[in-house]
């Protein structure tokens, strides 16, 4: 009977104080290690190796839904797991940092002080060698977890760079007639140094082409016809939101092609006649009569294919390359510096004056609103197997180190 009591007393003493919490921490890290190894094995079988990412979810790209929610939820789980792992490591580092009675006596005998009651860097090198090594192992194995664990989960973000810009009056999407290339008479050409044959201005106004590019079977004509037939069903954007999306290089995630709706002559919804906009010579009149009759109303002002992109500049920053900013009446701007205009008026011929004589300042176009074509793209969420391997190795190192503390010098009994 006495022997049983003595044995039970020793077992209770062995799990008293810091060791009882240590058992909980060791168990918790053991569970994390097993779970992480399971993920690594599953991913390695799929990849036929440990390198490469694994995509495990594909969904909507819109903020607050689909892939975004999955990514946010998984990063929350990762941060909780990382907090538990690092808190556990911090606990054991404090245990290792606390000197035993024998270590205090030894240090005092040498005339050196030890800090009692709180963690101190100086203590780490004044306790036993075994405790110092274990403390250093826990410290170093925490660094990759701090730096890499949150990066194991990633989300792909799709952004469109190409779109069709159409500037037109309100009647353009309501069945009003239109003529190519539009009332601006602006047509891209590789012949002209500024990019245009007629109504020419800088090459920051859309994709290259000629009059032939606007003929019935051309790609440009198909895009214009598509916008006229479908634009009324597109999403309506306020001018400030529209300028922020299409006059920068942020990329398009929710919309692609756009119709910028402007006022026609004296606010007319069916656009412009050629005679209201231009004062052409007799030769020029004859050249344009077949394309755009002088007295017929044209609800189309201009249309072109556009591209937004970023390129490295000389000062090592990324510069915005949007070839439609001149057509939109804005300067080439970076995504960070752009402030959308409160009252957006497109000064269409600001970059380079028109070839022909304008009447009544018709190149100034007040923007009413935009009609943007909604798009749906899939974004994905995945994890990096190699990063998870590195994190798992660090967690495994901690898991193996913790039980050894009971055998480290100075860790027996009270510390």
Return averaged pLDDT per consecutive 10 residues of the chain, 415 residues in all: 45 58 85 92 83 82 76 93 92 77 68 63 71 86 93 85 92 93 71 37 45 65 93 94 85 90 87 88 80 90 85 65 77 54 80 67 86 87 92 92 60 48
Same domain? For 11 and 66 the reply is: yes
The Cβ-side half-sphere exposure at 147, using a 13 Å CA radius, reads: 7
Task: Indicate whether 283 belongs to any domain.
Answer: yes
| Full residue range of the structural domain in which residue 105 is found | 2-156+379-407
Strands 318-322, 235-237: pairing kind: unpaired
Give me the helices (H) in 218-343, please. Answer: 219-230, 239-246, 274-277, 282-289
Same structural domain for residues 321 and 390? no
For residues 269 and 295, state if they share a domain: yes
Instruction: Examine residue 415 and state whether it is found in any structural domain, yes or no.
Output: no
Same domain, 52 and 138: yes
Half-sphere exposure of 287 (CA within 13 A, CB side): 10
Give domain status of residue 25, yes or no: yes
Same domain for 27 and 15? yes
Report yes or no on 412 lying in a domain. no
- Look at residue 268 and tell me if it is in a domain: yes
What is the Cα 26 distance to its own chain's centre? Answer: 38
List % helix, strand, coil for the chain (3-state, nearest 5).
45, 20, 35
DSSP string, 349-411: TSSS--SSEESTTTTEEEEEEEEEEE---EEEEEEEHHHHHHHHHHHHHHHHHHHHGGGSTT-
Q: Are residues 356 and 393 located together in one domain of the fold?
A: no
Task: Report pLDDT for 211.
Answer: 60
Query: In this structure, are 242 and 369 located in the same domain?
Result: yes
Per-residue model confidence (pLDDT) at position 167:
94
| pLDDT recorded at residue 356 | 67
User: Residue 191: left (phi > 0), alpha (psi -120 to 50), or beta?
Assistant: alpha
pTM across the whole model: 0.65
Residues 401, 364: one domain?
no
- Using only C-alpha atoms, the chain has a radius of gyration, in whole angstroms, of 35
Is residue 414 included in any domain, yes or no? no
Helix 385-404 and helix 67-97: axis angle, to 10°? 30
Residue 414 has what pLDDT? 47
Same domain, 371 and 383: no
Q: What is the pLDDT of residue 144?
A: 94
Are both 190 and 73 inside the same structural domain? no
Residues 202 and 132 placed together within one structural domain of the fold: no
Does the residue 413 lie in any domain? no
Q: How far is CA 178 from CA 172, 181, 209, 341, 405, in A?
A: 7, 9, 19, 29, 83
Q: Is residue 387 part of a domain?
A: yes
**Total domains, the chain:** 2
Task: Please tell me the predicted confidence (pLDDT) of residue 20.
Answer: 76
Supply the pLDDT for residue 166: 94
Same domain, yes or no: 250 and 366: yes
Q: At what angle do helices 67-97 and 18-47 cross, to 10 degrees?
A: 140
């Amino acid at each position: 009977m006495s022997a049983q009591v003595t044995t039970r007393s020793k077992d209770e003493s062995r799990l008293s104080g810091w060791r009882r919490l240590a058992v909980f921490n060791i168990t918790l890290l053991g569970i994390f290690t097993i779970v992480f190894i399971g993920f690594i094995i599953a991913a390695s079988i799929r990849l036929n190796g440990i390198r490469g990412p694994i995509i495990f979810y594909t969904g909507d790209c819109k903020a607050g839904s689909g892939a975004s929610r999955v990514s946010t939820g998984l990063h929350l789980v990762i941060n909780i797991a990382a907090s538990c792992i690092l808190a556990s490591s911090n606990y054991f580092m404090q245990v290792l940092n606390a000197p035993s009675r024998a270590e205090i006596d030894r240090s005092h005998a040498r005339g050196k002080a030890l800090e009692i009651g709180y963690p101190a860097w100086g203590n780490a090198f004044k306790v036993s060698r075994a405790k110092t090594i274990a403390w250093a192992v826990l410290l170093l194995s925490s660094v990759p977890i701090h730096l890499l664990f949150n990066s194991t989960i990633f989300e792909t973000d799709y952004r469109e760079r190409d779109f069709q810009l159409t500037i037109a009056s309100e009647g353009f999407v309501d069945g009003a007639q239109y003529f190519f290339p539009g009332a601006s008479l602006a047509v891209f050409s590789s012949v002209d140094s500024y990019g245009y044959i007629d109504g020419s201005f800088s090459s920051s106004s859309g994709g290259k082409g000629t009059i032939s590019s606007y003929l019935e079977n051309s790609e440009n004509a198909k895009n214009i016809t598509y916008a006229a037939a479908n634009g009324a069903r597109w999403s309506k954007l306020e001018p400030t939101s529209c300028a922020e999306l299409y006059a920068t290089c942020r990329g398009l995630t929710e919309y692609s092609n756009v119709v910028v709706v402007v006022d026609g002559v004296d606010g007319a919804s069916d656009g412009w006649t050629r005679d209201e906009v231009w004062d052409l010579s007799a030769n020029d009149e004859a050249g344009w009569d077949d394309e755009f009759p002088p007295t017929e109303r044209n609800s189309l002002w201009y249309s072109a294919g556009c591209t937004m992109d970023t390129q490295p500049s000389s000062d090592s920053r990324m510069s915005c390359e949007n070839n439609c900013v001149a057509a939109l009446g804005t300067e080439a701007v970076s995504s960070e510096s752009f402030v959308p205009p409160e009252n957006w008026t497109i000064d269409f011929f600001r970059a380079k004056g028109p070839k022909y004589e304008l009447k009544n300042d018709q190149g100034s176009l007040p923007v009413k609103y935009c009609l943007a074509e909604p798009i749906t793209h899939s974004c994905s969420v995945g994890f990096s197997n190699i990063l998870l391997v590195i994190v798992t190795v660090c967690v495994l190192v901690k898991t193996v180190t913790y039980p050894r503390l009971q055998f480290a010098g100075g860790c027996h009994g009270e510390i």
